[in-house]
Amino acid sequence: MYFVANWKMFGNLKSINTLDKVIKFSKSKEIKKGRLIYCPPYTLITSFFKKFENCLIDIGGQNCHESDDYGAHTGFINSRMLKSIGANYVILGHSENRIKGETDKLINLKIRSAIKAKLKVIFCIGETLKEKNSGKTNSILSKQIKFGLDKVKKKSNIFIAYEPVWSIGTGKIPKSKELQQTVEFIKKKFKGKLPKILYGGSVNPKNINDLTKIISLDGFLIGGASQSSKKFIDIVKKTFN
Ligand code: 13P
C-alpha cells in the first residue's frame, strides 16, 4: 500500500524536524507493507531527500513543466531536474492546478515528459460537485484518463489518484459503495496490466477505517493530515489493523 504525502504550499526548513517520528516508524515492523512517499514543495525536496538518506521513504515533486529540456521558462522546473535531485515521483493533473488552467492536453505532455525522465507519475483525476450532482462523474473521469494518458504506452509507472474535487480539504469523503463503483469503473478503463489506484480527498485517521474497506485500492494521497507525522503514521497503522 502506498501513502503519498502531498504537502502542497506548506512547510519550511523547521518542518524537517517533524520527520524524525516518521523515519523511526518507517524502520519499525509496524510499517508492514506500507510504502511512504513525501511530495514537499520544491524548496524542501533536497533537504527531505538528505533527511531520508538512510530509510526507504521516497520523494516526489508536486508538478513539473511539460518540456523535458532546459529552457527559458521563468519559475518552472522540469521532470529531469526533479529526477536529478532525488525525486522518483511527481504529482500531475492535481485539481488545484487544473482549476488554474492546466488542460488535459498540457497534463498529457507533462506525464509523457515525466515518464521519459523515469519518474513515476501520480496522475490525479476527479469530478467537481456540480459534475457529480449531474451524474457526470464517469464521463469526466473517462475524458481525463483518455486525454491525460494519450500516447502513454507503458502504464506501469502510472498511479491514478482518484481525488473528487468536492472532497479535497472539505472533510467529506465519498460513500463506500460509490467509491467502490468508481474505482471499479476506473480499473475497467485499462486492459492488461492495471495502474495502481490511490484515493485522495480528506483522508484522515478518523475516516481511514471506512476507506480501507474499499478493496482494490492501492493506497492514499493525503494532503492536510500528512503534515502531521502523528496523523500520517496513524493512517498507515489503521490501514493495516
Ligand atoms: P486533503 O487531504 O487536505 O483533502 O487534500 C487532498 C489532496 O488534494 C491531496 O493531493
The ranges assigned to domains in the chain are 2-240
73 is catalytic: no
Q: Whose CA is nearest to atom 1 of ligand 1?
A: 223
What's residue 241's pLDDT? 84
Q: How many C-beta atoms lie closer than 10 Å to residue 224's C-beta?
A: 17
Q: How far apart are CA 54 and CA 23, in angstroms?
A: 9
Which of 65, 66, 94, 131 is the catalytic position?
Answer: 94
Question: Tens digits of per-residue pLDDT, 189-212?
Answer: 998 888 999 999 999 999 999 999
Residue 198 CA to ligand 1 centre (angstroms): 12
What's residue 85's pLDDT? 97
Looking at residue 89, what DSSP letter applies?
A: E
Residue 223: which pLDDT band, with cuts at 50, 70 and 90? very high
94 is catalytic: yes
Residue 124 CA to ligand 1 centre (angstroms): 11
Question: Tens digits of per-residue pLDDT, 9-23?
Answer: 999 999 999 999 999
What's residue 194's pLDDT? 86
- Which mutation among 7, 38, 124, 168 tests ligand 1's pocket best, with the greatest number of atoms within 8 A of CB? 168
Is pLDDT of 234 > 90? Answer: yes
Residue 41 CA to ligand 1 centre (angstroms): 14
Q: How far apart are CA 144 and CA 182, in angstroms?
A: 14
Question: Tens digits of per-residue pLDDT, 24-35?
Answer: 999 999 999 999
Is pLDDT of 46 > 90? Answer: yes
What's residue 193's pLDDT? 80
Q: What is the dihedral of CA 15, 50, 52, 221, to 10 degrees?
A: 60
Ligand 1 contact via 164 beta carbon (within 6 Å): no
How much is the average pLDDT of 39-46? 98
Is pLDDT of 214 > 90? Answer: no
User: Cell 483518455 belongs to which residue?
Assistant: 146
Provide the sign of the torsion angle of the four alpha carbons 66, 70, 73, 74, taken in this order.
positive
Residue 15 CA to ligand 1 centre (angstroms): 18
How much is the average pLDDT of 146-164? 95
Superfamily of structural domain 2-240: Aldolase class I (3.20.20.70)
Q: Whose CA is nearest to atom 5 of ligand 1?
A: 223
Q: How far apart are CA 239 and CA 204, in angstroms?
A: 11
What's residue 191's pLDDT? 84
> Is residue 162 a contact partner of residue 178, using CB atoms and an 8 Å limit?
no
Mean pLDDT for the chain overall: 96
What's residue 60's pLDDT? 98
Question: Tens digits of per-residue pLDDT, 89-140?
Answer: 999 999 999 999 999 999 999 999 999 999 999 999 999 999 999 999 999 9
Ligand 1 contact via 6 beta carbon (within 6 Å): yes
